[in-house]
Amino acid sequence: MNFLKKFSPRSFDWVLLTAAFLLVAIGLAAIYSVDLSHGVNLTDFKKQLLASGLGVTVLIVASVTQYTWFRSYAKVLYGGCLALLALVLIFGTTIRGTRGWFTVPGFSFQPVELAKIGLIMMLGYIVYHFGRRFDRPLFFFGTGIITLVIIGLIMLQPDLGSSVIIGLIWFGIMLLVGVRARYVAGFVIVAVVGGLLAWFFLLQPYQKERVLTFVYPERDALGAGYNSTQAIIAVGAGKFFGRGLGFGSQSQLRFLPEAQTDFIFSVIGEELGFAGVSLLLILYGLLLWRLLFIVRNAKDDFVSVTVSGIAILFFSQLVVNVGANLGLLPITGVTLPFVSYGGSSLMVNLFLIGVAEAMVVKKY
């Protein structure tokens, strides 16, 4: 009976769950549409459908787990993530210039997705145990160091997009807890210097080309700027109601590269139009609103920071992905949460929804 009580309307945020599931459904529909252009096997769609089922399983497990368990094992999870990020540099598979996947026949996994969980929970653990002395240099620079370790390992792959998201999670949490303004200014200076060092010593030529093409889009419209150009064309071609699922010329005729991952938003824009995009953004709005509602009613600082970190993660990925699809931001390979193809990303996102559900104030 106690297990069933956890799923009662008074103790489970069904709006949050429904928004997440509808986003997954839209993603599956878009991936199915893209897969039609690849043949009759629908390989990507089947893999994503399997990942959805596994994701729902881990969501349920996480949602019925006492949130104090996550707090108790935050350091273990963080340490495990560092180990996986180090091991993938040695034993990982290189895909599209990034050595960031563990691959076995028929399955691949990105440890950077787990690193997002590890960082969020580790920051929540530190805030919980720090006694709200967020004005102390030890707090700011200590959390900065544990974040930079993750970013450093990710940049060795190299994966610029994930590094940016990890940095935004930390920075967003620092702003929320109210660190001193001079620390924030110092961080901005360090970030600029770090960006310059990364430009000269870490970024691959294709990553530099993405940034240069964003700044000067006219320099290579048929080369480095091709992806961004095709994405913008796809979004504009959808008009209000779209061309229909499976009838988008940009995705079906393969003008749009990486349509099932980086540019899934453009596929939705072309095939479902402004109406489909609006529904997508409304669902994200509902999801973020419910996460902020959990934060507002949090029992302790660990819950508040952890769920805030989850909200920052989803919001950051949403802004970076949509901005890249609309030509407003450089293309960094950041996927659209719950929607883009990628089993490890989808399962981690659904797990985080389960973690948030475990932290809902129970009203049995």
pTM reported for the whole predicted model: 0.90
Tokens of 101: 């996947």
Point out the residues of the chain with pLDDT beneath 50: 1, 363-364
* pLDDT at res. 363: 47
Beta-strand ranges (E) seen in the chain are 93-95, 98-104, 107-109
Tokens of 16: 């949050």
**Cα separations in angstroms, 9 against 24, 169, 211, 274, 360:** 22, 31, 47, 33, 11
Are the C-beta atoms of 339 and 349 separated by less than 8 Å? Answer: no
* pLDDT at res. 212: 65
Per the document, the length of the chain is 364
Question: How confident is the model over 141-196, as pLDDT tens digits?
Answer: 889 999 999 999 998 998 888 999 999 999 999 988 888 778 878 777 877 887 77
Whole-angstrom Cα Rg for the chain: 20
The whole-angstrom separation of Cα 104 and Cα 291 is 35
Give me the residues paired with residue 107 across strands.
Answer: 104
Are the C-beta atoms of 341 and 44 separated by less than 8 Å? Answer: yes
Q: What is the largest CA-CA distance in the chain?
A: 65
* pLDDT at res. 8: 58
- Strands 93-95 and 98-104 turn out to be antiparallel
**Location of structure tokens 């349920």:** 60
Helix, strand, or coil (residue 159): coil
Specify burial of residue 346 (Cβ count, 10 A radius: 0-12, 13-18, 19+).
buried
Are the C-beta atoms of 270 and 250 separated by less than 8 Å? Answer: yes
Dihedrals phi, psi of 50, to nearest 5 degrees: -65, -45
Specify burial of residue 140 (Cβ count, 10 A radius: 0-12, 13-18, 19+).
buried
Tokens of 264: 């899934």
Query: CA end-to-end span of the chain, whole Å?
Result: 11
The whole-angstrom separation of Cα 234 and Cα 326 is 10
The whole-angstrom separation of Cα 361 and Cα 364 is 10
Question: Strand order in 107-109's β-sheet?
Answer: 93-95, 98-104, 107-109
Give 183's contacts (C-beta < 8 A, 6+ positions apart): 137, 140, 141, 174
The whole-angstrom separation of Cα 176 and Cα 194 is 23
The whole-angstrom separation of Cα 120 and Cα 108 is 23
279: nearest Cα among 55, 12, 27: 27
Tokens of 279: 């529904």
Question: How confident is the model over 104-155, as pLDDT tens digits?
Answer: 776 788 999 999 999 999 999 999 987 677 778 888 888 999 999 999 999 8
Peptide bond into 158 cis (omega under 30): yes
301: nearest Cα among 173, 183, 181, 166: 173
Mean pLDDT of the chain: 85
The whole-angstrom separation of Cα 173 and Cα 185 is 15
